[in-house]
Structure 1
Amino acid sequence: MLALSRGLVSRLQLFATDVAATPFPIRFLRGFSSEAAVAAEAETRIIDAKPGVMTPNSKRTGVIGVKCGMSAVWDKWGARIPITVLWVDDNIVSQVKTPEKEGIFALQIGCGQKKEKHLTKPEVGHYRAQGVPMKRKLREFPVTEDALLPVGTSLNVRHFVPGQYVDVTGITKGKGFQGGMKRHGFKGMPASHGASLSHRSIGSTGQRDAPGKVFKGQKMPGRMGAEQRTVKNVWIYKICPARNLMWVKGQVDSLCLSIIHTEV
C-alpha cells in the first residue's frame, strides 16, 4: 500500500505540472507514459535526399566494403603499383540519429543480406522498426547536418570518385599465439655457437635485483592480429558502378571487412 500510494502521488505531481500550458492529450500522456510524452513533444525532423552544396566543414557518411581480391597496375615508368579490390555490398541507410533523440548527427549503414533466423530478436526488431531489410553488418558514421540521408537510401561506389583519398578501417587477420620474432620482429638468439634449442627465444626481459621485476608493456609472445586498424589516405584508382567494385591503391589485404569513410 505504501508503494502504491507513493506511485499515485508521483503520478499526480507529474500530471499537475504545467497544466495550463500543456494541451490535454499531452498532459494525459505525461502523467502515465513519459516516453510517449517525450515523443509527442519532440520536434519531428524531416530529412529529404535533396541536392545541395557542401562546405569544407561538411562530413559525409562512409560505406561498408568487403575486400575481394588483389591486383596490380603499372605506371608510365614501369613500376608496379599494388591495388586492392573492394566490393560495396548493397549498402543502405538503416537508421538516422539526430540530436533530438540520440544527441548526435549520425547515419547507421547496413550492408549485405542475412536471414532472419540467423539474427537475434533485438536485431530483427530493430530492422522491422526502421522498415529496412535484414543486413549482415551494421556500422555508424558521424556526419554533419547537411549530410543526413533518409532511411532506406541506397549507397554504392558512386559515393566516391577516382582520385579521391579515403581512410579504410577494418579488423586484421588473426594469427593466433605467435612468438616474439614474428610478432615484434625480434632478431632471435645466435644461430651457431652458444645457443641450444633456443634460437627463436626473445632473450632477457628484465634486470637483476634492481628493480627485480618485468616492466609492464614488455614485448613478449602472445596473441597476434584480430585488431582494428586504419589505413590513412588511400587513393581511389577507379570504380565500377556496374558491379559496385572499387580499386584502391595500396595493400589493404590485412583488412577482411573494410569500412571506407571520407570527408568532403
Structure 2
Amino acid sequence: MSIKMIGKKISMTQIFNDKGNVIPVTFLQIGPCTITQIIKKELNNKYANIQIGYEYINPKKLNKAKLGHFKTKQLPCFRYLKEYKKENWHNLFIGQILNVKEFQIGNNINISGFNIGKGFSGYHKKHNFSRGPMSHGSKHHKRPGSIGAGTTPGRVFPGKRMAGRIGNKKVTIKNLKIVYIDLKKNLLVIKGSIPGKTGNILYINSN
C-alpha cells in the first residue's frame, strides 16, 4: 500500500553505525498530514484520488474558494495541498491524520522536491562547455560561438543549449533508506542527500 506525505527538510549531518562507519543522513520533519478530500472514481472503483493537507495557516490568508473547500468538510485550513492516486482507500476517511507511524525503519522511500535555484548562468556553468582558445588575438575566450546555420534552416532549433536559468527544478531521488524514526517530533532520518535547501517542502512516496 503506497503512502504519500508532505514534509520539510531540516538539516544534514552524519552518524556512526555499530561498525564505526560514517553514514551521511538528512533530518526530515514529516507531517502530520490530514486527509482533506477523497474523490471516488465511478467507472473504476479500484482506486481513488486522495488529497492531503500540511501545515496550518491563518484563514485570513486564503481566498474564498479555499475557505469554502475547508469549511464544507469542517476542517482547519492548510497551507499546502497534495493529491495522489491510491488503491485500497476504503479504510480512509476525511479528517484522518497521517504521521510518521506509517513508515518503518529500513524501508526505502522516494523523495521529490525543488533543487536550489542558482539564477541566470552562462553556458560554461550550465552545460559544462569548454572555453575558446586563450592565445593572443583570439576573441572567443568565453563566447558561445555559432548557434545555427544561416539561410537554411534560417532559425535556431528548439532545445539549443545556451545560457539561461539553472536550478529550481523538481528532482526525485528514489530508494532512500530510513535510518531512524522519532514519533514524538515527527522526524525521519534518511540515509543520503535530499534535493533543495533547509526548509524546502518535500513530497515523500513509500511504495
Band of TM-score, shorter chain: 0.7 to 0.9
Q: Distance between the aligned counterparts of 2:43 and 2:72, measured in 1?
A: 15
- Higher RCO (Cα < 8 Å, 6 or more apart): 2
* Map 1:31-46 → 2, pairs under 5 A: none
**8 Å CA contact 1:97, 1:107 repeated in 2:** yes
Would the alpha carbon gap of residues 193 and 83 (structure 1) be closer, same or farther in structure 2, given more than 3 Å must change? Answer: farther
Contact 2:32–2:100 (8 Å) recurs in 1: no
Instruction: Kindly indicate which of the two structures has a greater share of residues assigned to strand.
Output: 2
1:163 Cα deviation from its structure 2 partner: 1.0
- Give TM-score, length-normalised by structure 1: 0.68
1:216 to 158, 175, 188: 158
> How large is the Cα RMSD of the aligned pairs?
2.6
* Contact 1:60–1:147 (8 Å) recurs in 2: no
Q: 8 Å contact 1:110–1:139 — kept in the other structure? A: yes
* Deviation, structure 1 residue 79: 5.2
Distance in 1, matches of 2:74 and 2:132, equals 61
Letter of the aligned partner of 2:125 in structure 1?
K
The alpha carbon displacement at 1:167 in A equals 1.0
C-alpha change, 1:102 and 1:72, in structure 2 (3 Å) is same
Counterpart selection for 1:163 from 80, 90, 106: 106
Q: CA deviation at 1:78?
A: 5.7
Residue equivalent to 1:105: 48
Q: Which residue of 1 is the match for residue 206 of structure 2?
A: 262
* SS in structure 1 of the partner of residue 78 of structure 2: coil
The residue that corresponds to 1:89 in the other structure is: 31
Code of the aligned partner of 2:202: S
- The reply on whether 1:178 has 2:121 as its aligned counterpart is yes
The Cα of 1:215 is off from its aligned counterpart by: 1.9
For residue 11 of structure 2, give the secondary structure of its aligned residue in structure 1.
strand
Which secondary structure does the structure 1 equivalent of 2:3 belong to?
Answer: coil
Contact 2:49 2:86 in 1 (8 A): yes
Deviations 1:156-212 (A, max 9, x none): 11111111111111222222221112222222334555545x544333322465545
Distance 1:184 1:154 in 2: 44
In the TM superposition, residue 107 of structure 1 has moved relative to its aligned partner by 1.2
For structure 2, the residue ranges without an aligned partner over 5 or more in a row are: none
Partner of residue 47, structure 1? none
Equivalent residue for 1:120, pick from 51, 63, 66: 63
Unaligned runs of 5+ in 1: 1-58
* Count of matched residue positions in the alignment of Structure 1 and Structure 2: 204
* The structure with more radius of gyration: 1
Tell which deviates more after alignment, 167-176 or 61-70.
167-176
| Structure 1 residue 143 corresponds to structure 2 residue 86 | yes
Deviations 1:83-134 (A, max 9, x none): 1211113311111121149985021111111001111111111011111111
- Does residue 238 (structure 1) correspond to residue 151 (structure 2)? The answer is no
Distance in 1 of aligned mates of 2:44 and 2:117 = 34
How far did 1:233 drift? 1.3
Give the TM-score, by structure 2 length. 0.85
For each residue in 1:27-86, what CA deviation from the matched residue of structure 2 results, as whole angstroms up to 9, or x when unmatched? xxxxxxxxxxxxxxxxxxxxxxxxxxxxxxxx3331101111111234567654321211
The one of 169, 183, 187 aligned to 2:130: 187
Contact in 2 for aligned 1:172/1:228 (Cα 8 Å): yes
CA distance in 2, matches of 1:148, 1:68: 32
How far, CA to CA, are the matches of 1:77 and 1:182 in structure 2?
40
